[in-house]
Amino acid sequence: MNKVYIIIFAFLFTFAFGNLSAQQVKKAEKGIFLLKGGTLHTITAGTYVGDILLKDGIISEIGREIASAPNAKVIDCTGKHIYPGLIDSGTRLGLSEVSSVSVTNDFSDLGDFVPHMKALTAVNPNAVAIPVTRVNGVTTVFTKPSGGTFPGTGALIDLFGYSPEQMSAGSERVILNFPSTGKRGRFDRRSDEDIKKDAVKAQKNINDVWDNAIQYMKMDSSAKAENQKWMTNNPQMDALLPIVLGKAPLFIEVNSKGDIEGALDWLKDKKIKAVLTGVAEGWRVADKIAKAKIAVITGPMLSVPGRDNDRYDAAYTNAGKMSKAGIKVAIRTDGSENTRNLPFNAGFAAAYGMGVEEALKAVTINAAEIFGVADKYGSLEKNKVANLFVSNGDPFETKTQIEKLYIRGWNIPLESRHTLLYDEFLERTPGLK
């Protein structure tokens, strides 16, 4: 009799530990994969039924038919759809684990002028939200710091890897929060005059910073021209150098109509590259943004209008209106744990005027172009990074299932905390008895 109990106990014990270990997802699979007969949504070269070969982390071949590939594992994708991995152009994924628990948040450091704070440093490759996000087809995200005027430098990362270096997609961008003349929220009790004063003061700070950055750039350039040793300890200014030199774009977070106009004005006499982010009221000044030929990262679509008097669908329609005005638009969720809703944000933009094709570009090739990585990301093309997924339909449609996921050519298990808890608890054992 005792033996029976021991066996039962041992069984339950194993069971319990089995479940504990199930909190980690399975290992990814390395290999050469030949995906045959799927509908390839290439984004840049049309949509057709064909084959795609993933080898050494890249798309090594793509076409209507790839006859054979040595040592390749062949995966039948007949009737399935293949899309490039979706790119979320603004998140805090990996920088925050539980947003209300401050010790788990690494997206904001002290100081108003800290452009040298690098998001990539603080990305946690094992953040629980990362698998949760990628199983919805989002393979790459821009993760960014926030708070203050120059909160730091965001990083484009692939959602697979065990160190920030492994995850880096090779693009980092400095962020400027343009002075806002809007209210921060309902709790903001500042008078209109005070808000204006704060904005003017913030604007003056930015201009001062900018003058210093120009001076710094001149000193740096002349030192380098004369091959002098240029000893400094000014990481803030070092972070701004590529922007002042016009080599990398400045990401300017700006939302209300007046502030967007202010940012465009501010940029006028500066010979720098810039991208506007947020841009909630871009629809009000779309012609001006288009004329300035500045690309835009906008979202989330699933938010309420910035003003109480605006149409209920202002945030749904914004991306489409800007896109129609000729602006290059990428979409972001601005999320952390629910970055997985990127396809639905794009779906709402598509439904409210943007159309599916443009919305797809906004989460693939447009994003890649804005981040300067279109040679590697954003479409199904030969020699691009093998970030893609196989689905049973339109990835924006809510009930569509992702059936295969590849990041950098690795076959990623479609597991996350959410799926594992489902597997464990759908039919809980023991149940009531």
| Interface residue list for another protein (CB under 8 A) | 97-102, 128-129, 147, 180-189, 255-257, 278, 280-281, 300, 302-313, 315, 334-338, 340-341, 344, 347-348, 350-352, 396-401, 417-419, 421-422, 425-426, 428, 431-432
Q: What is the DSSP string of 289-348?
A: HHHTT-EEEE--SSS--SSTTS-TTHHHHHHHHHHHTT--EEE---BSTTGGGHHHHHHH
In the block, residue with structure tokens 């390749």: 72
| Preceding omega of 242 cis (within 30 degrees of 0) | no
| Shortest distance, position 431 Cβ to another protein, whole Å | 5
**Closest by Cα among 286, 253, 269 to 182:** 253
Angstrom distance (rounded) from CA 231 to CA 267: 30
Nearer to another protein, 136 or 153 (CB): 136
| Shortest distance, position 130 Cβ to another protein, whole Å | 12
| Shortest distance, position 273 Cβ to another protein, whole Å | 24
Nearer to another protein, 149 or 341 (CB): 341
Q: Which whole-number Å values give the CA distances from 383 to 298, 321, 408, in the listed order?
A: 29, 34, 11
Nearer to another protein, 2 or 398 (CB): 398
Are 362 and 347 in contact by the 8 Å Cβ rule? The answer is no
Nearer to another protein, 71 or 191 (CB): 191
Q: Which whole-number Å values give the CA distances from 19 to 7, 10, 79, 311, 422, in the listed order?
A: 18, 14, 35, 48, 12
| CA-CA-CA-CA torsion sign (370, 371, 372, 378) | negative
Q: Given the DSSP bridges, would you call strands 250-254 and 168-177 parallel, antiparallel or unpaired?
A: parallel
**Closest by Cα among 95, 116, 97 to 106:** 95
Nearer to another protein, 369 or 424 (CB): 424
| Shortest distance, position 118 Cβ to another protein, whole Å | 21
| Shortest distance, position 1 Cβ to another protein, whole Å | 29
Nearer to another protein, 51 or 88 (CB): 88
| Shortest distance, position 421 Cβ to another protein, whole Å | 4
| Shortest distance, position 77 Cβ to another protein, whole Å | 20
| Shortest distance, position 137 Cβ to another protein, whole Å | 11
Nearer to another protein, 186 or 268 (CB): 186
Nearer to another protein, 51 or 259 (CB): 259
**Closest by Cα among 50, 81, 78 to 65:** 50
Nearer to another protein, 16 or 101 (CB): 101
Angstrom distance (rounded) from CA 36 to CA 52: 7
Q: Given the DSSP bridges, would you call strands 402-407 and 410-411 parallel, antiparallel or unpaired?
A: antiparallel
| Shortest distance, position 8 Cβ to another protein, whole Å | 20
Give SS3 for 273: coil
Angstrom distance (rounded) from CA 242 to CA 258: 28
